[in-house]
Chain A
Amino acid sequence: MAHGPAVKLGKDNASGYKTTLGIWMFSLYTLIYAIFVGINSVNPSLLEITIMGQTLAVIYGFGLIIVAFLMAIVYNFFCNSAEARLNK
């Protein structure tokens, strides 16, 4: 069978921790995204209200992009820590 990685990978004792963390963070982001889609579908005029000079749609849209980046940084920090701790 011609499967398996193209390069040899070492054993990763942190993979279980990273999987669990990934599922939790994925669930959190999915919830934020689902609320956005839900507001669009159920009460789209709510997204026209102004907060700090901008429509809620702009704030929520930018927020989804910025939160994605911040969560990615946090996830990477905890994964790096776990790899350093468990793969000594």
Chain B
Amino acid sequence: MVYTQSPLAIALFLSFVVGVLALSFYLARRTTSSEGYYAAGGNIHWFVNGIAFAGDYLSAASFLGICGMIATAGYDGFLYSIGYLAGWMVALFLVAEPMKRLGKFTFTDALDSKFNSKGIQLSAAISTLVVSVFYLIPQMVGAGVLVQPLLGMPHYVGVMIVGVVVTLIVATAGMASTTYVQFFKGGMLLVMSTVLVIGVFGRGLSDNPGQGGRHEYHDFKTIEATSAPDGSLLLSDSTYQVPADWKNTVYGQQGFVKLTTTDGIPTVWKVEEAPTGYSLKETLYTQVLADGTKLYNGAAKEENRFFAVGSIKELRVNGEEVAESGAIGPFAYLKAMKDSTIMLWGKAYVKDEGALTEIYYQKPTAGSRILRPGLKFKVDNATGTEKFNFISLMLALFCGTAALPHILIRYYTVPSQAAARKSTIVAIASIGFFYILTLFMGLGAMTNGVINLTDNNMSAPLLALSFGVVLFAIISSLAFATVLGTVSGLIVASSGAVAHDLMDNFLGIKMTDKGKVMAGKLSAVVVGCIAIYLGIVFEGMNVSFLVGWAFAVAASANLPAILMLLFWKKTTAQGITASVLVGLISALGLILLSPDMWVRYGLLPANAPVAFNSPALVSIPLSFIALVVVSLMTQKSAIIDAEAIEA
């Protein structure tokens, strides 16, 4: 898809960025101590902190990734919403108050509160850095995705803008500015998403995704064909030419046929059997040629031949087939979706003389099938590995939230344990409400002809565009601010790991309070540069999917150590160190050997040494086992260490 830039959108975006930077520079004058830099002085109000939690948490993954996944795969995207929200119950019931009680600036402080162990300081700091970097990747990818329609700039420019702005925010005022940016952004995101969803209900459902006359939806053609005695195809439309031996081509073998228009543009069609012969359905396809050139429906991207999709094939309201529903309430909306048939899009790959063709073909799907799991995650008649993958992902989402360093450090910004608890409840209320909205935003994109199949991350902003450029400008700027805010939090967490955990505690480098703040700021700049690089490398992956990996790593490396420290008295420093390292290495190792990474390496996923993509179901138990075994083996040294600390 080629996007047209709006001056209003650009102006709003620039206002957001300037506003955020101005706030940071203003707060920087009040940030002179390390308490101020890493923990905002510990005096943020619980309500502000709760909304800031939502701002931190509702990252690019939630707003862009989940909506995009719901738009293309229905309920399976909503499973991420459910899992992410459920993870907050672990945070509220088990982690919130103890984290506030035990820690000072970083997650490592809490783990090390009883031990003063170099092993914990090193392993937990490494874990914080790795998890933060994993979480940073999807945020940066999301930034790159946003600037294309917003500013008309390529992906890497978006990544670099975010990297530079965020590094400036963090390097100026640390946690104080990050908190207020998050509060502002979190609140605005909730309000504007609600406005968008109300717009979706007001427009209702229609079997013509013309967005109330604003947009001309591409009419995907069907050509009838019969088979000649020699096996060749006879088409009902003479403007297309078909190869005589179409069945023996690489396309024919996969149920497609390549037709050429009279002006020489190749098109790909899905071949379906029909009573009179065949029915050819128009597809969309991208093709990467051997020289690296990418074509969209056989032409350069600028020719705009790769159309937006998302439509209802047959709309049924209250048991009757209708053309449109008119304004509709949330439950009636879901019921009408369930009873209707929606045009989803399947994906197939064809390798043709060195060119890789990715074909998107029409797949009419019952709404009841869309509003239950199974379109992305294979749960029906699933193999053991597929079931394992699914359960493992849901476990990672559940356990990951309470183990994310940039979430945990927010507990240090409030004045008391009760404030930590109350801010978590505000977070649950606001995040839960937002996640309910994601379902309607995703379904709205699915039926309003706004999905770019090559990058579904843009579904929510493009849905906003279907209501006019003002809403699009606000939503896109907010989405960009979402990325800014989350990346700020991650960089604060990372800089704390480097400057406070590694330099100050582990290496014992003597620094003045000002020196500690300076070390944090320098660390923020370095982590920012790494994030920019990774954001460019991982272009094109679904951001929510990438966050799933970050959750798996966090849940494996951090959560077992936190829980056992709080609830098992025999836990030793060595046990915690072993747990963090085993969880981290096993989760990372399994991800790097997974089928999805094999694709990133340019290899066939079937040849990957590990059959599953989500490692949590293996790495979390391994981390627990390592902690228990090593703690039991080191009970004697723990007693000696305790006596030494008391002495």
Listed in ascending order, the chain A residues whose CB lies under 8 Å from chain B are 1-7, 9-10, 12, 15, 18-19, 22-23, 25-26, 29-30, 33, 36-37, 40-41, 44-45, 47-48, 50, 53-58, 61-62, 64-66, 68-69, 71-73, 75-76, 79-80, 83
Contacts and interface: CB of A to CB of B under 8 A. Distances in A.
A74 to B, nearest CB: 10
B446 to A, nearest CB: 15
Contacts of A73: 425
Nearest to A66: B432
A22 B368 contact: no
A57 B463 CA distance: 24
Interface stretch (B83-91, B230-238, B280-288): B83-91
A5 B97 CA distance: 12
B586 interface: no
B373 A80 contact: no
A75 to B, nearest CB: 7
B425 A72 contact: yes
Contacts of B100: 5, 9
- Please classify the interface of chain A as helix (H, G, I), strand (E, B), loop, or mixed, using the class held by over half of its residues: helix
Contact of A3 (B103, B335, B424): B103
Nearest to B378: A44
A29 B379 contact: no
Nearest to B424: A72
Contact of A41 (B43, B331, B390): B390
5 contacts: A3-B104, A15-B417, A26-B94, A30-B89, A61-B81
Contact of B436 (A33, A56, A62): A62
B85 A65 contact: yes
A24 to B, nearest CB: 9
Nearest to A29: B89
A57 B372 contact: yes
B436 A5 contact: no
B360 interface: no
Given A2-B104, A2-B500, A3-B109, A36 B93 contact: no
Contacts of A37: 390-391, 394-395
A69 B428 contact: yes
Given A12-B417, A54-B335, 7 more contacts: A2-B505, A3-B116, A5-B42, A19-B566, A26-B90, A57-B371, A68-B432
A15 to B, nearest CB: 7
Contacts of B64: none
A37 B429 CA distance: 22
Nearest to A41: B387
B23 interface: no
Given A3-B103, A64-B82, A72-B92, A44 B373 contact: yes
B338 A54 contact: yes
A65 B82 contact: yes
Given A40-B379, A41-B390, A44-B373, A5 B412 contact: yes
B39 interface: yes
Contact of B422 (A15, A47, A69, A76): A76
Given A3-B104, A26-B94, A57-B373, A65 B109 contact: no
B113 A3 contact: yes
B373 A9 contact: no
Nearest to B429: A69
A45 B379 CA distance: 9
Interface of B: 35, 38-39, 41-43, 75, 78-79, 81-82, 85-86, 88-90, 92-94, 97-98, 100-105, 109, 112-113, 116, 331, 334-335, 338, 368-369, 371-374, 379-380, 382, 387, 390-391, 394-395, 398, 412, 415-418, 421-422, 424-425, 428-429, 432, 435-436, 439, 500, 504-505, 566-567
A54 B429 CA distance: 23
Contacts of A25: 89, 93
A1 B102 CA distance: 13
A41 B412 contact: no
Contact of A53 (B335, B421, B504): B335
B417 A22 contact: no
Given A5-B101, A45-B380, A40 B412 contact: no
A6 B567 CA distance: 23
Nearest to A55: B371
B46 to A, nearest CB: 11
B559 to A, nearest CB: 13
Q: Give the residue among A3, A45, A61, A73 with the most B Cβ atoms within 10 A.
A: A3
B379 A83 contact: no
The 6 closest A-B pairs by CB, nearest first: A7-B42, A26-B93, A22-B93, A57-B372, A6-B42, A6-B39
B334 A54 contact: yes
Contacts of B88: 68
A50 B368 contact: yes
A79 B81 CA distance: 27
A53 B109 CA distance: 50
A62 B567 CA distance: 31
A65 B236 CA distance: 52
B104 A33 contact: no
A10 to B, nearest CB: 8
B104 A4 contact: yes
B331 A33 contact: no
A40 B338 contact: no
B432 A44 contact: no
Nearest to B500: A2
B487 to A, nearest CB: 23
Contacts of A53: 331, 334-335, 338
A78 B592 CA distance: 45
Contact of B373 (A18, A40, A64, A75): A40
Given A44-B379, A44-B380, A57-B373, A68 B93 contact: no
B102 to A, nearest CB: 8
B104 A5 contact: yes
B428 A79 contact: no
B42 A75 contact: no
B315 to A, nearest CB: 16
Contacts of B89: 25-26, 29-30, 68, 71-72
